[in-house]
């Protein structure tokens, strides 16, 4: 018996007080969803509870089942809408997820991770995963590269550990990584997920046709970057194939001068069919990547982790040194009798310098240790996976 699933994923760019035309765009996105074209919808950056409630209530006739993954300070921003029953839900937070003091980036405050909704599709389980990896804010000096690689590998391990008896596993979300990036490779090659898109020229972010794309960026790369993905893997005794892939939303909201989001919506229609018992395996996506390439990807990821751990040692020295320098400055200010009329200035200066000392001590001790442990945990897991991939490679070499 064949089953078809129509999946849509979209980063709605719903940051209150910051995202342009947020209310109007959320309403327009909801209007599109209410058409009933899709079976399941994966939304990211739904940062406002009111936006989620509006989307949920407005589309409940089409999607009677929904789930929001609460996490962190502002919530994960992740939610799923489904025509099919959601029989269970689970959220797994990542060990490393940016920095709390980088308020302008904000990833840490979202408490990001990977969410799972287990759907019952024609009485058969389908695992729908949703994730929003850490953004790349500087492609030349990407300080979050190790975090994103750890998140990608952690997501792959989570999918591998929870796929159970599901006939299909789908990961749909803004992964902030292009197909050629190391994070994308480690995610797909350690989970055996397959891309629903075969066109490398398609972009989903910073596209020329999007109203929110900076013109200077659009000139350099009109197609934009493909960082929003729908990945899939067939379950045991099941064959899965992509029937259609598209960016379904128009460039502009009808009647308006702006786009639905700064990202493009991504759509895929996947067909699932049982295979005869004599051909039973673990799905057509099983072992689509060779052990050799998997070893290469994991070794590169491990080196990225090693480089980050070394950087953390230098960071600790820097923060300790800064704490000592500021503490010395604070000592001299505290020992100086303020000139008449400047008492308030001296008091504020002492307070601010004390806060800076506390910050540097916190960063050199608690925060540095937490990040190091998060990176180290992911690295050690990668080494286990790499060792296993090497053993599989040796087996293939003996057979051949």
Q: What is the pLDDT along the chain (400 residues), one digit of tens a residue?
A: 689 999 999 999 999 989 999 999 999 999 999 999 999 999 999 999 999 999 999 999 999 999 999 987 878 899 999 999 999 999 999 999 888 777 766 676 777 999 999 999 999 999 999 999 988 877 667 888 999 999 999 999 999 999 999 999 999 999 999 999 999 999 999 999 999 999 888 999 999 999 999 988 888 889 999 999 999 999 988 999 999 999 999 999 999 999 999 999 999 999 999 886 545 444 444 567 888 999 999 999 999 999 999 999 999 999 999 999 999 888 887 766 666 656 777 778 888 889 999 999 999 999 999 999 999 999 999 999 999 998 887 776 666 5
Pair 137, 29 in one domain: yes
Among 288, 309, 344, where does a domain finish?
288
Written as six digits, the tokens of 134 are 């850490």
Pair 271, 299 in one domain: no
What distance in Å separates the CA atoms of residue 149 and residue 176, rounded to the nearest whole number?
11
pTM across the whole model: 0.91
Pair 190, 215 in one domain: yes
Task: Please count the structural domains in the chain.
Answer: 2
Pair 223, 313 in one domain: no
Q: Strands of 228-234's sheet, edge to edge?
A: 86-93, 113-121, 124-131, 168-174, 228-234, 194-195
**Is 67 noted as a catalytic residue in this protein?**
no
What distance in Å separates the CA atoms of residue 314 and residue 308, rounded to the nearest whole number?
10
Q: Which one is catalytic: 67, 229, 263, 373?
A: 263
Pair 256, 315 in one domain: no
What distance in Å separates the CA atoms of residue 339 and residue 358, rounded to the nearest whole number?
27
| Burial class of residue 336 (count of CB atoms within 10 Å of its CB; 0-12, 13-18, 19+) | exposed
Pair 150, 270 in one domain: yes
Among 242, 263, 288, where does a domain finish?
288
- For residue 158, which of 109, 68, 93, 78 has the smallest C-alpha distance? 93
CA end-to-end distance (rounded Å), the chain: 37
What residues contact residue 229 under an 8 Å CB cut-off, 6+ apart?
9, 171, 172, 173, 175, 184, 195, 196, 197, 266
What distance in Å separates the CA atoms of residue 207 and residue 215, rounded to the nearest whole number?
10
DSSP state of 170: E
For residue 301, the enclosing domain spans 293-399
Among 241, 256, 288, where does a domain finish?
288
96-99 long-range contacts (CB < 8 A, ≥24 apart) are 96/146, 96/147, 96/150, 96/151, 96/371, 96/374, 96/375, 96/378, 97/134, 97/147, 97/151, 98/134, 98/144, 98/147, 99/367
Length of the chain: 400
CATH of the domain at 271: 3.60.10.10
Determine contact, residues 8/42, Cβ cutoff 8 Å: yes
Pair 238, 176 in one domain: yes
Pair 39, 164 in one domain: yes
Pair 273, 230 in one domain: yes
The rounded mean pLDDT for the chain is 90
pLDDT tens for each residue of 262-271: 999 999 999 9
Q: Which residue intervals of the chain are DSSP H helices?
A: 22-33, 49-59, 145-162, 182-189, 215-220, 291-335, 343-362, 368-399
pLDDT tens for each residue of 239-262: 999 999 999 999 999 999 999 999
Pair 329, 274 in one domain: no
Pair 190, 301 in one domain: no
The confidence score (pLDDT) of residue 72 equals: 78
What residues contact residue 255 under an 8 Å CB cut-off, 6+ apart?
none
- For residue 66, which of 55, 76, 74, 77 has the smallest C-alpha distance? 55
Pair 229, 297 in one domain: no
């Amino acid at each position: 018996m064949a089953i078809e699933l129509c999946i849509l994923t979209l980063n709605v760019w719903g940051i209150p007080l910051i995202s342009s035309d947020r209310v109007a765009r959320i309403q327009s996105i909801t209007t599109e969803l209410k058409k009933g074209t899709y079976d399941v919808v994966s939304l990211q950056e739904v940062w406002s509870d009111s936006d989620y409630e509006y989307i949920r209530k407005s589309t409940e006739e089409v999607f009677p089942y929904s789930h929001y993954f609460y996490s962190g300070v502002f919530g994960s921003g992740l939610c799923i809408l489904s025509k099919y029953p959601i029989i269970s839900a689970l959220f797994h937070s990542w060990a490393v997820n940016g920095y709390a003091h980088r308020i302008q980036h904000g990833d840490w405050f979202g408490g990001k991770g990977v969410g799972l909704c287990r759907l019952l599709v024609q009485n058969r389980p389908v695992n729908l995963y949703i994730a929003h990896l850490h953004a790349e804010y500087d492609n030349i000096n990407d300080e979050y590269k190790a975090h994103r690689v750890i998140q990608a590998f952690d997501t792959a391990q989570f999918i591998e550990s929870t796929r159970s008896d599901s006939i299909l596993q789908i990961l749909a979300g803004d992964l902030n990584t292009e197909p050629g990036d190391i994070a994308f490779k480690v995610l797909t090659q350690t989970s055996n997920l397959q891309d629903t898109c075969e066109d490398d020229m398609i972009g989903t972010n910073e596209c020329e046709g999007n109203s929110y794309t900076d013109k200077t960026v659009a000139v350099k790369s009109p197609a934009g970057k493909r960082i929003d993905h729908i990945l899939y893997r067939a379950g045991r005794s099941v064959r899965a194939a992509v029937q259609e892939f598209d960016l379904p939303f128009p460039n502009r909201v009808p009647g308006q001068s702006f786009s639905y989001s700064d990202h493009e919506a991504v759509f895929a229609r996947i067909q699932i069919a049982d295979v005869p018992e004599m051909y039973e395996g673990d799905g057509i996506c099983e072992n689509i990547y060779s052990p050799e390439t998997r070893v290469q990807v994991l070794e590169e990821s491990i080196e990225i982790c090693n480089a980050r751990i070394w950087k953390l040692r230098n960071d600790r020295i820097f923060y300790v040194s800064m704490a000592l320098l500021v503490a010395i400055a604070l000592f001299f200010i505290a020992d100086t009798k303020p000139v008449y009329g400047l008492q308030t200035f001296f008091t504020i200066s002492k307070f601010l310098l004390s806060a800076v000392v506390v910050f540097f001590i916190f960063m050199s001790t608690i925060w540095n240790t937490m990040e190091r442990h998060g990176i180290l945990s992911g690295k050690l897991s990668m080494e286990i996976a790499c060792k296993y991939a090497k053993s599989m490679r040796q087996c293939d070499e003996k057979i051949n």
